[in-house]
Amino acid sequence: MDLFLQLTLAGLAIGSIYSCVALAVVMIYQATDHFNFAQGEMAMFSTYVAWTLVGLGAPVWLAFLLAVGISFLAGVIIERVIVKPVENAPVLNQIIVFIGLLVIFNAVAGWIWEFTIKPFPSLFPEDLGFKSTLIGPHHLGVIALTLGVLALVFAFFRFTRVGLAMRAAAANPDSARLVGVSVGWMLALGWGLAASIGAVGGILVAPIVYLEPNMMAGVLLYGFAGALLGGVSSPGGAVLGGLVVGVLENWVGQYVPGGSELKLTFALILIVGVLVFKPAGLFGRVVVRRV
Amino acid sequence: MDRPNPLRPGLLVGFGVAIVFAAIVPHLVSDFTSFQFTQAMAYGIALLGLNILTGYNGQFSIGHSAFYAVGAYTAAILLYHFGWNHYATLPVAALVAFVVGFLFGLPALRLEGLYLALATFAFAVATPQLLKFDAFEHWTGGVQGLFVPKPEPLIEGLSADQSLYYVTLAIMAFLMAVAWCLLRSRSGRAIMAIRDNPIAASTMGINTALYKTTTFGISAMYTGIAGALSVFVTEFVAPDAFNFFLAVNLLVGSVVGGIVSIPGVIFGGLFLVFVPNFAQDISRAYPFVPPPWAIFGIFLILAIYFVPFGVWGAVERALAWWKRKSAA
C-alpha cells in the first residue's frame, strides 16, 4: 500500500510538470489552433539558461525567476519574428516552422552546453521540517509550486483586462479587432506566457531527469497526452489531464510488465487512444462541423 | 476519352538525358560517391512515399521514420536470422510496411491535420524505444542492432557499390513511374480531391476512408522499401538511427525537393546526403557557425518562407514563365 501511495504521489508531482507543459501547449493551441512542437525544446533551453545563471553564482530562486522572465521575452520575440510570417500559411508550413525551431533549439543547446548530462539543483530545501516516507521534498515542492503557477494563470485570465483581451483575441479575432484589441500582440503575449510556463516545467523536471538537450522529448509527449486527455480546448482539463497522465505513467511503469521500458510507447498508445475514442478529450468542447 | 498525351516530347527527352546521365555516374566517380548516391536514392524513395501522403493526399506525417524503421528491420531480420537473398526481402519489407501503415491509417482516419501530425510524432518518438525493448531483443539485436552483409554484385565486373547503385536506380525509376501513373489515374484524382476538399470528395462518391487508409499504406510501403534499401547500403540497423531526427530529415527533404512533386524527391534525396556533410564542414571550419543540425533547422524555416514549393516547384514555375514568354 505504501508503494502504491508513493507511486501515486510521485506521479502527481511529475504529472504537475506535465500539466505545465500541457497548459503551455493548450494556450498556444487556443490562440492559434496549433500545437507548438518546439515547446519542449524551448523549455529545455530555458532550463539551461537557469543552469548558467546558477553557475554564475545566482541563488537558485533568482535564477528561476530570471529564466522565466527571459523565456517570456524570448517567446514574444519568437512569435513576432519567426512565427508571424507563416500566420496565414497552410498548417503544414506552420508545423514545419515549429519542427525547425525544435531542431534549432536542440542543436544550439548541445553546441553551447554540450550533450553531457548535468545535475540541476532543486528549488526546494532538503529539509522541510518534517519527514515523510511517502514523498520527497522536491516532489512536494513541485506540486505546491505548479499549483501556485496554475492559480496565477487562472487569475490572470479571469480577472485582468489583458487576460480578457487575450481570451477575446483567441475566441474571435475579428470581433476582438473591432473593439480595439491588438490580436497580433495578444498572440505574442500568449507565446511569451506559454514559454514562461514551459520554463517552469523544465526547471522543475530537471532535478528529476537531469539536464541534457534531449530531456524534454518524453516530457513533451506526456504533456501532449495530458493536453489531449483533458481536452485541447480546456486549460483546466489540460492541467487535470497532465496529473492523470503522470499518475498513470507511474502505475504502468510499476505494475505492467515491460512498462518501465516502454514509457514512450505508453504515451503513444494514450495519444492514439484518446484521439480515436474521445477526440475532444474529457473536458473539451465537441466541435461540430456543418457542411 | 480525348486527352492530350501526357508524354510530351520535351518530357521524354528530359527523362532520357536524366537516365543516361544516371547510368554513367558510377563509372565517373569513386565507389564511395556511388554509395552516397545510392543512399540519396533510397532517401528519394522514402520522400516519394511522404509526398504521396502529404503533398497529394493532404495527410501529415512527421513520423515516417517509423515506417522506414519497419522496412529496415524487416529486411535486416530476414537477412540476419533467416539468411534470405537481399532482393527477396524487399517485397516482404514492402508488404509489412504497407500493413503497418494501413493499420496506422485506420485511427488516422479520424484525425485531421494537426492531430495526425501529433499521433505520427508520438509514433516517431516511441520507435527507438520499441526497437530496444528486451522482449524483442532476440530478433532486433536490442541497442546493438544487427549487422548484415552488402549484396553481392549482380553482374560480373561491377563493384558491390556500383551494382547496388544500379539496382536502387532501377527500383526508384520503377517506383516513380508507378507513383506517376497512380496519381494520374482515376484513383489519383480521388486522392487529390480528398486533399482539396474532403466533404466535396465524399459527396461525389469517393470512399474517403478507404482512399485515406490505402494512401497511408502505400506511402508507408514506399518508405519501407527505402528503409530496406538503406540497410543494404549501410550494412547495419540500430534503433537510434530511426529517431525523431530521421523523421525531421525526411520532412526537410520533402520540402526542399517540393512536396507536391515526383521528380523533386531526387533533389530532396541528394540534399539529405550531401548538405549535412557540407554543413558539418562549415561548422568545423568556423567555430562561430552553429552546428549542422541548427543550420538544417534554419534552412528548413527559410525554405518554408521563401520557396514553399521546393526545387521542383521552382523548376516548374521557371518553365511556365519561359513558355509564356516564348508564346508572347
Tell me what the pLDDT averaged over chain B comes to: 86
Report the gap between the CA of B301 and the closest CA in chain A (Å): 5
pLDDT in tens, B277-311: 777 777 777 777 777 788 888 888 888 888 888 88
Q: What is the mean pLDDT of residues B125-152?
A: 82
> Quick check: is A259 in a domain?
yes
Percent of chain A whose pLDDT exceeds 90: 20
Chain B environment of A271 (Cβ under 8 Å): 118-119, 122
A213: part of which helix (H) or strand (E)? none
Taking the alpha carbons at both ends of chain A, their separation in whole angstroms is 54
Half-sphere exposure of A218 (CA within 13 A, CB side): 21
Q: Nearest chain A Cα to B55, which residue?
A: A92
Give the residue from B290, B263, B260, B224 showing the smallest Cα distance to B56: B260
Task: Tell me which residue in A101, A104, A275 faces B107 most closely, judged by beta carbons.
Answer: A275
Report residue A238: phi and psi, to 5°: -65, -40
Report the gap between the CA of B43 and the closest CA in chain A (Å): 19
> Taking 70 as the threshold, does the pLDDT of residue B248 lie above it?
yes
Asked whether the beta carbons of B167 and B154 are under 8 A apart, the reply is: yes
> Quick check: is A140 in a domain?
yes
Do A107 and B298 count as a contact with CB atoms less than 8 A apart? no
> Quick check: is A284 in a domain?
no
pLDDT in tens, A176-195: 889 988 888 888 998 999 89
More confident: B27 or A239:
A239
> Taking 80 as the threshold, does the pLDDT of residue A259 lie above it?
no
> Quick check: is A251 in a domain?
yes
User: Is the four-CA dihedral B264, B269, B272, B273 of positive or negative sign?
Assistant: negative
pLDDT in tens, A3-40: 888 888 888 988 988 988 888 888 888 777 778 888 88
Report d(CA B175, CA A39) in Å as an integer: 38
pLDDT in tens, A107-130: 899 888 888 888 888 888 877 667
Do A275 and B122 count as a contact with CB atoms less than 8 A apart? no
Tell me what the pLDDT averaged over chain A comes to: 86
Query: What's the CATH code of the domain at A47?
Result: 1.10.3470
Whole-number pLDDT of residue B2: 52
- How far from chain centre, in Å, is Cα A30? 14
Beta bridge partners, A118, equal A211
> Quick check: is A289 in a domain?
no
> Quick check: is A282 in a domain?
no
Task: Tell me which residue in B199, B300, B308 faces A99 most closely, judged by beta carbons.
Answer: B300
DSSP string computed for B237-262: E-GGGGSHHHHHHHHHHHHHH-TT-S
Asked whether the beta carbons of B310 and B257 are under 8 A apart, the reply is: yes
Domain that holds residue A239: 2-277
> Quick check: is A290 in a domain?
no
Report d(CA B63, CA A155) in Å as an integer: 38
**Other beta carbons less than 10 A from residue A276's beta carbon:** 15
More confident: B40 or B300:
B40
pLDDT in tens, A274-284: 887 887 778 77
Complex prediction ipTM = 0.83
More confident: A245 or B114:
A245
Whole-number pLDDT of residue B138: 79
User: Is the four-CA dihedral B151, B156, B160, B164 of positive or negative sign?
Assistant: negative
Whole-number pLDDT of residue A195: 92
Rg (CA), chain A: 19
Distances, alpha carbon A7 to alpha carbons A132, A166, A244, A269, in Å: 14, 38, 12, 21
Asked whether the beta carbons of B45 and B170 are under 8 A apart, the reply is: no
> Quick check: is A291 in a domain?
no
Report residue B63: phi and psi, to 5°: -130, 25
Asked whether the beta carbons of B257 and B265 are under 8 A apart, the reply is: yes
Do A101 and B251 count as a contact with CB atoms less than 8 A apart? no
Q: Could you give the number of structural domains in chain A?
A: 1
Q: What is the mean pLDDT of residues A208-228?
A: 87
Q: Nearest chain A Cα to B254, which residue?
A: A96
pLDDT in tens, B56-110: 998 888 889 999 999 999 999 998 888 888 888 899 999 999 999 998 888 777 6
Residues 56-95 of A with CB under 8 A from B: 82, 85-86, 89, 91-93, 95
Give B53's pLDDT tier (boundaries 50, 70, 90): very high
Which residues of B have a CB under 8 Å from any CB of A? 54, 60, 62, 107, 110-111, 113-115, 117-119, 121-123, 125-126, 129-130, 132-135, 199, 244-245, 248, 251, 255, 259, 290-294, 296-298, 300-301, 304-305, 308
Q: In B197-243, which ranges are continuous DSSP H helix?
A: 198-203, 208-234
